[in-house]
Amino acid sequence: MIGDPTTFQPPYAVEGHGLVKTFGDFRAVDGIDIAVPAGAIYGILGPNGAGKTTLLRTLLGIVDPDAGHRTLLGDISPLRRAKEVGYLPEERGLYPSMKAFEAIAFMGALRGLPLKIGRERARALLSDHGMGASVDKPIRQLSKGMAQTVQLFGTIVHQPRLIVLDEPFSGLDAINQEKLETLIRAQARSGVTILFSTHVIAHAERLCERIAIVAGGRIRFEGTVAAARDRLRPQVRLRTRASDGPWRAALPADTMADDGNWHFDLPESGMEPLLRALLDGHAGIESLSIERPGLHDAFVAIAGEVAARQMEEEAGDRGEQAA
Amino acid sequence: MIDIVRAALVIARRDFTAIVFSRTFIFFLIGPLFPLLIGMAFGGLGEKISSDSLRPVIGLAMAAGDAGRMEGARAALVERVGERTFPELKRLPGGGDPAALLARRNVGVVAIVSGSIRHPVLTGKPDDIAMLEGDVSLIASAAELGAQLPRVTVTRRPVVTSTGAQDQARLLTARAGQALIFLLTMLLAGMVLSNMVEEKTTKVIEVLAAAVPVDAIFLGKLAAMLAMSFVGILFWTSGAVALTLALAGPGGLSALPPPAVGWPLFVLLGVLYFAMAYLLLGSLFLGIGAQAATVREVQTLNMPVTMAQLLIFFFASYAVDHMGSPAEVAAAIFPFSSPFAMIARAAQQEAIWPHVAALVWQGLAVVLIIRLGVFLFRRHVLKSGSGGGRLRWRDMFSRAKA
C-alpha cells in the first residue's frame, strides 16, 4: 500500500536509541537518541561534519549502525517501510538522459508506485508547479534548481507517510527556497511527517515544531524551537541619557556598555524592580526593549560559537553557489 | 523476495531502455559486422597468403636432370594427396656450397637439397631439416621410381555409423559451442564492469540504496545487461542464419555435426549456459566494478579481468579433450568454467541429469557471488557495517540490521 496519512501511525515516525556509526577512527554518530513524532516537521541542525547525513542514512537503513537500534514507521527494518518513505539525499542524483516526468515516475516506481500512475502524477506535479514546459525535457537540459525540484517531486510522488530531506534548501535560490517551504508545510498539513537536516537556522526556525541540534556526532539539544530559545534569558537593550548614577547599581554585573547603550540578560527578578530603580535614579530612559533570543542565539549557546560561525559560512558559500 | 524481484525489474527496465534506446546501441549491434566483413574481404587473400607464402620452399642445387625428376615426382604426388602437403621446389644454380647459398640474401628458400636423387643431401637449420626430411625423402623416392611409382586402388565401402568419427565430429561441435559461448560472454560480460559507475558519478546510487535492497540493484543491472545481450545475440544470430541461407542454402545450417543431446536441447542448453556464464562472470564483474569510483579505475580493471576470462576458457578448452578426466570434472564443477565445460559435455554425452545439476549449482553460485558483491558494496562503498575487520559469512547473509 502506498503511504496513506489517514492510517494508524505510531507515536514516533522515527526512533533511534544509542546509535553509533564510525568510519575508521572517526565517530560520525556518537550515541544518538532521537524520536521524531508522527506528523511533525522535525529539523536536525548542525554544521558540516556534525553527523547529520550519517544519522539520516542510518535511520533510513542505507547504512547499518555499529551500535544501537532504530525503527522507521514502527519497523525495525527500515527498508521494509521504503514504500512509505520519501528521501531526498544531500547529493542529488538523477539520470541525466531521463526525461523529467520519467525520472519522477522512476523514483516512485522504486518505492512501489505503478509507473502509469507515477507518470500521470509526475506530469501533474510539474504542471502545477509551473514546470509544464519541462515535462519531456531530459534532466541534463534542466537548470540545477529545476533538476533539484524534479528530484523533490520524485521524493513525494508516491505520497509517502514520512519524508526525509537532507539539506533540501542548499543550491536553491530564494524563490525556490520559499516554494520548498510552502511544499513542506502543505505535506505536513496532510499528516506527513517531515524530517530534514539543515545548516540554515532560519529555515528550521520557520518550519520546525521540534529540532535536534547536532555537533560532533552527538545531539546537544532536542525539543521545540521555543524550548531551545527559552534556554537563553531574554535580552534587555536600554539607552539612557545619563551615563552614570546610583541607578547603575541595579544593572546586572555582566552588563555590556556602549556609549549610553546597555545590554544585559533580563534579571531573574523581572523588569519591574529594575525599571523602578532606573526611574528613581533619573537615568533618563530614551529607549528600552526586551528581545526574546532567536534560534541562532540558542544554537550558539548550545553548539558553541565555532559551530555557529561554521554554519553561517557554509550557508554563505552555498548561497553564492546557488546564485 | 517478491519486493527484491519487483525492485530489480524496475531497475532492469530503466537500464534496458536507457541502453537499447540510446544512439550508441546501433553501433553495438553492427559492431560484430566489421570483423566479419573484414574477414570476408581479406579471407581469400589470407588463404592465398597462407597457402603460397607459408608453404616452405626448398632449393634444388642438383644436376638439371635430377632436379627435373624431383619436380616431376612432386607433381605426381601432389596429384594424389593434394597441393598443400608438399613444400615448393625451386631450382638453384648448381655447383655452389649450399651453406653459403643459404647465407646469401634473397635466395628465397628454407633449405637446399643437393647431391643426387639416390643420395640427396638436405642443408638447412636443424628444425627445418627435421620438418622437411620426410618430404624430401618421399619426393626423392618417387623420383627414383619415376613412372614405376605404383598406384594402389582403394575400394570404397561407406558406412552410416562410425563411433570414432562421431566422437571426432562431436568434439568439433563441443569446441564450436564452447568458443561461441566464450566469445559472447567475453564480448558482453565485460560491459557489466562499468555498470555502477553511472550511478556513482551521478549520485543516483544514494536514491536507489535508500529505496530498494542493494541485492535488487545488482540483480536488476545484471538482468538488464543480460536482456540487452540477448537482443544483440538475436540480431546477430538472425543475421548469421540469413547469411548462411543466402550463401549456402538450407544445408549450410547443418554443417556442424549433431551433438549428443540433439540440436534442440543443445541450443536450449547453449542459451542457458550462456546466461549462466554471463551471470556468473557478470555478477563478479559487477561486484568488482562497483568498488571502482571512476571510469579510469574500471578501465584499469579491464585487462586483468579479460586475462582471467581467458584463463577460464583455456581451462575449459583443455577439459574438452579429456572427457571424464579429473580436470574435466573440475572444470564442470568450478562455477566460472562450468558453463563452458558443460556445453562441451552436451555435445559429447547424452546424459541430461548432469546439466540439471550443473544449472542448479551455477544458479547457486550466482546468488553467492551477488551476495558477496552486495556485502562488499555495502561495506566499502556505502560504508555500512563496522568497516574493516574480517569477512564473516553471517554478515554476508544478514539483511539490514535494526
pLDDT digits (tens, 9 = 90+) for A96-129: 989 999 999 999 999 999 999 999 999 999 999 8
pTM of the model: 0.73
Asked if A161 and A193 count as a contact pair (C-beta separation under 8 A), the reply is: yes
Measured CA to CA, the distance from residue B179 to residue B184 in angstroms comes to 9
Is B18 touching A (CB cutoff 8 A)? yes
Is A63 touching B (CB cutoff 8 A)? yes
Measured CA to CA, the distance from residue B218 to residue B8 in angstroms comes to 8
* Angle subtended by helix axes B214-248 and B353-376, to nearest 10: 130
Measured CA to CA, the distance from residue A32 to residue A218 in angstroms comes to 6
What is the tens place of the pLDDT at every residue in A191-235? 999 999 988 888 888 899 899 998 888 888 888 888 888 878 888
Residue of B87, B136, B131, B135 lying closest to B114 (CA atoms): B136
Measured CA to CA, the distance from residue B242 to residue A149 in angstroms comes to 51
Whether the pLDDT of residue A141 is over 90: the answer is yes
Q: Which residue has the cell 554425452?
A: B349
Q: Would you state the cell numbers that stand for residue B163, as one nine-digit string?
A: 563411433
| Chain A, nearest residue to B378 by Cα | A63
Calculate mean pLDDT across residues A43-67. 90
Instruction: Report the residue from A64, A70, A77 with minimal CB separation from B385.
Output: A64
What is the tens place of the pLDDT at every residue in B380-397? 777 765 544 455 556 655
Are A78 and B400 within 8 A, CB to CB? yes
Q: Is ipTM strictly over 0.85?
A: no
Q: How close A291 comes to chain B (CA, Å)?
A: 43
Q: How close A267 comes to chain B (CA, Å)?
A: 48
pLDDT at position B95 is: 67
Asked if B302 and B383 count as a contact pair (C-beta separation under 8 A), the reply is: no
Are B210 and A82 within 8 A, CB to CB? yes
Residues in chain B closer than 8 A to A57 (CB atoms) = 210
Q: Would you state the cell numbers that stand for residue A151, as one nine-digit string?
A: 528530484
- Stated length of chain A: 323
**3 state SS of B53:** coil
Q: How many CB atoms lie within 10 A of CB A174?
A: 11
pLDDT at position B200 is: 80
pLDDT at position A114 is: 95
B-contacting residues in A 1-30 (Cβ below 8 Å):
22-24
Measured CA to CA, the distance from residue B66 to residue A28 in angstroms comes to 94
Neighbour order of strands in the sheet with B111-115: B88-91, B57-60, B111-115, B120-123
Which CA distances in Å does B161 have to A29, B166, B236, B259? 76, 8, 34, 15
Whether the pLDDT of residue A9 is over 60: the answer is no
Whether the pLDDT of residue A322 is over 60: the answer is no
Asked if A68 and A35 count as a contact pair (C-beta separation under 8 A), the reply is: no
pLDDT at position A312 is: 62
Whether the pLDDT of residue A318 is over 50: the answer is yes
The residues that bridge with A37 in the sheet, in sequence order, are A12
Are B401 and A65 within 8 A, CB to CB? yes
Asked if B56 and B132 count as a contact pair (C-beta separation under 8 A), the reply is: yes
Q: Would you state the cell numbers that stand for residue B227, as one nine-digit string?
A: 536482456
Are A82 and B211 within 8 A, CB to CB? yes
pLDDT at position A4 is: 47
Instruction: Report the residue from A82, A89, A95 with minimal CB separation from B206.
Output: A89
Instruction: Determine how β-strand A210-215 pairs with β-strand A285-291.
Output: unpaired
Are A107 and B207 within 8 A, CB to CB? yes
| Segments of chain B scoring below 70 in pLDDT | 40-54, 84, 94-95, 161, 249-256, 384-402
Residues in chain B closer than 8 A to A71 (CB atoms) = 402
∠ CA A36-A39-A42, rounded to 5°: 45
Highest mean pLDDT of the ranges A256-265, A300-309, B124-133, B380-389? B124-133
| Chain B, nearest residue to A86 by Cα | B211
- Residues above pLDDT 70, as percent of chain A: 91
Residues in chain A closer than 8 A to B388 (CB atoms) = 24
| Mean pLDDT, chain A, integer | 86
Helices in B190-294 by DSSP H: which ranges? 197-201, 204-211, 214-248, 263-291
**DSSP at B377:** I
Is B211 touching A (CB cutoff 8 A)? yes
The residues that bridge with A221 in the sheet, in sequence order, are A213
Measured CA to CA, the distance from residue A269 to residue A318 in angstroms comes to 44
pLDDT at position A315 is: 60
Calculate mean pLDDT across residues A166-173. 86
Whether the pLDDT of residue A306 is over 60: the answer is no
Number of A–B residue contacts, CB under 8 Å: 90
Q: How many CB atoms lie within 10 A of CB B167?
A: 14
Question: Which amino acid would we find at residue A237?
Answer: R
The residues that bridge with A291 in the sheet, in sequence order, are A235
Are A63 and B18 within 8 A, CB to CB? no
| Chain A, nearest residue to B383 by Cα | A63
Neighbour order of strands in the sheet with A85-88: A85-88, A162-166, A193-198, A41-45, A210-215, A218-224
Asked if B81 and B154 count as a contact pair (C-beta separation under 8 A), the reply is: no
Residues in chain B closer than 8 A to A95 (CB atoms) = 14, 18, 198, 202, 204
For an interface test with A, the pick among B2, B20, B204, B397 (most A C-beta atoms closer than 10 Å) comes out as B204
Q: Would you state the cell numbers that stand for residue B174, as one nine-digit string?
A: 563441443
**3 state SS of A110:** helix
